[in-house]
Structure 1
Amino acid sequence: MTGHLTKRESEIGSESWDIIIRPSGKTGVGLTAAWKYRELIWMFFKRDFTTFYKQTVLGPVWYLIQPTLTTITYYIVFGKIANLSTDGISPLIFYMSGTIIWNYFSACLTNNSETFSKNSNLFGKVYFPRLVVPLAVAMSGLVAFFIQFMLLLTISFFLWLSQDGIVINLRFVLATPLILLYVAMLGVGAGLAISALTVRYRDLVYAVGFVAQLWMYATPVVYSYSQIPERYQWFYHLNPMTTPVQLFRWALFDASPLPLSVCLANVTATLVIMIAGLILFARAEATAMDTV
């Protein structure tokens, strides 16, 4: 009997498996595993895009309606009533450029903040690296950004033809992908951290939308960086969304560039948030299904 067991164990041990599921280490973040499942990321990306607008009348047109109405509101409230300066940039494209960059960040942040709770049924049945879902969310947000970006370029082109005094720089072709990568890293990293914490602290789910709204007003979206008093500029060194919003306007419309110290501080904060989010998410992944 003992010999039979030994033989059977040796046969099992000699089998080759495609994937062996083991508990993740404390420092593993799952990026390598997620890359192996890149086809699944693409599938989730297509699912998110099709299901979100499947039963809507206007479909992707909502991508155009939302920034347009938001821009008009900002133009009336902050441009006409509050009379805030836009550094010589046409108010319409000033507010729309800040809006579409912020919308992409907000989508990455809020849609990833409930990764475990929203996908608990799927996570409990099928194995795949959980990081696949947040990466797919970031890709889905790029569709909305691209459509809104085309709208921004169209409006900018017509304003340029009307001799409105605007300048359109072609350096945005190179700068925009880097800015989007930066925003995706920040949004996904912050979303992963919140998602990991909401496994135990459910109250954070209700605070995300409120905090995101406050964060927007703490970012030069509806006002220019030059309007910020010098004694408060240290705060914008800590706000990592300052750099992409201002650089996006600089790349497109030749807005005032940021001081190098702000950019370096923002990049450092983004890297810290991204790494912390990946580590917290990887640690929460092992026990999330037991507590969600």
Structure 2
Amino acid sequence: MREDEDWLYEIKPKGRLIDLNLKEIWRYRDLLVLFVKRDIVTVYKQTVLGPLWYLIQPLFTSVVFTLVFNTFANIDTGVVPPFLFNLAGVTLWNYFKECLSTSSTTFTANAGLFGKVYFPRFIVPASKVISGLFKYGIQMLIFVIFYAYFVFYKDAQIAPSYLVWLFPFCVINMALLGLGFGMILSSLTTKYRDLTILVSFGINLLMYLSAVMYPLSEAKIKSPAYAWIIEANPLAQTIELYRNVLLGADHIAFGGFITSFLISLIAFFVGLVVFNHTEKTFIDTV
């Protein structure tokens, strides 16, 4: 090749602290779509119930939460039917859990692929977040069906808030949190494999500190000494706002959600820095 002839594409080492090359990601958009399709299809390709698993899990979890927390523990959800209250929280929590758990295994699960061919590594965790939207959409459809059931058949006095336009921001916030912390954990697990066990245990524990099955107001009443821990959790603030805008609420705290969104952005950019740094040498440690 002549010296004055330009290369079609040149692979260079990352020189910037935060390197999110959107132009390069767009060039590999077909690969991104392929990864998304793979993530969706492989979940139900060799299962008996197929995509119904996306429906069974949140429904079963919501029924259990309703029995344990609302029936036995007397958690008050106001005019909102307890099952619908729990289903809303579980639906958004499942999306965060999907983003975090799948992106946290990026390096260990794709070491063989990363060692053979070059492509923007960020595509892999990004595909997990996008494919998670498909599963979230199915569960959201079930929520809408039960919402209509309680409103038109059970005559529940609920209605979406005038701030329902904040609904997509809650989903984006969960995606940023899950992706950010997922990239950090993925980088750490290249050296410390036992962290994968801690992640699975920690996610289950975190759910109880994220106001998934109770409102923040009840946490202040039932356990005022420890309620500040839950209020400081950005997940709890997001889930609380998500339920309020969908099910209606007299008061919506913007301060907690704005703080939560800022934490999500910080987590995403920190995760991106750690992810970019790790991808240079991870193949030697995995």
Q: TM-score, normalised by structure 2?
A: 0.92
* Residues 153/170 of structure 1: CA separation in 2 closer, same or farther (3 Å cut): farther
Larger deviation, residues 170-179 vs 60-69: 170-179
Choose the corresponding residue for 1:130, options 101, 121, 137: 121
Question: Mapping of 1:191-230 within 5 angstroms?
Answer: 191-229=182-220, 230=224
1:7 match:
none
Question: Mapping of 1:56-135 within 5 angstroms?
Answer: 56-135=47-126
Larger deviation, residues 158-167 vs 171-180: 171-180
* SS of residue in 2 equivalent to 1:228: helix
Q: How many residues align?
A: 282
Question: Mapping of 1:8-87 within 5 angstroms?
Answer: 11-32=1-22, 33-87=24-78
Tell me if structure 1 keeps the 8 A contact 2:161–2:244: no
1:280 match:
274
In structure 2, distance between residues paired with 1:29 and 1:99: 34
> How many Å apart are 1:59 and its aligned residue?
0.8
In structure 2, distance between residues paired with 1:124 and 1:182: 32
Tell me if structure 2 keeps the 8 A contact 1:193–1:277: yes
Percent identity, aligned pairs only, is: 37
> How many Å apart are 1:134 and its aligned residue?
0.6
* Residues 52/12 of structure 1: CA separation in 2 closer, same or farther (3 Å cut): farther
Larger deviation, residues 184-193 vs 234-243: 234-243
Q: Which amino acid aligns with 1:241?
A: L
- Displaced runs of 4 or more, over 3 A: 170-173, 230-234, 255-258
Instruction: Output the aligned Cα RMSD.
Output: 1.8
* Residues 270/237 of structure 1: CA separation in 2 closer, same or farther (3 Å cut): farther
- Answer 1 or 2: which has greater helix percent: 1
* SS of residue in 1 equivalent to 2:234: coil
1:188 match:
179
> How many Å apart are 1:176 and its aligned residue?
2.6
Q: TM-score, normalised by structure 1?
A: 0.91
- Unpaired segments ≥5 residues, structure 1: 1-10
* Residues 26/197 of structure 1: CA separation in 2 closer, same or farther (3 Å cut): farther
Tell me if structure 2 keeps the 8 A contact 1:243–1:258: no
Question: Mapping of 1:152-191 within 5 angstroms?
Answer: 152-169=143-160, 174-191=165-182
Larger radius of gyration: 1
Larger deviation, residues 265-274 vs 73-82: 265-274
* Residues 255/220 of structure 1: CA separation in 2 closer, same or farther (3 Å cut): farther
2:236 match:
242
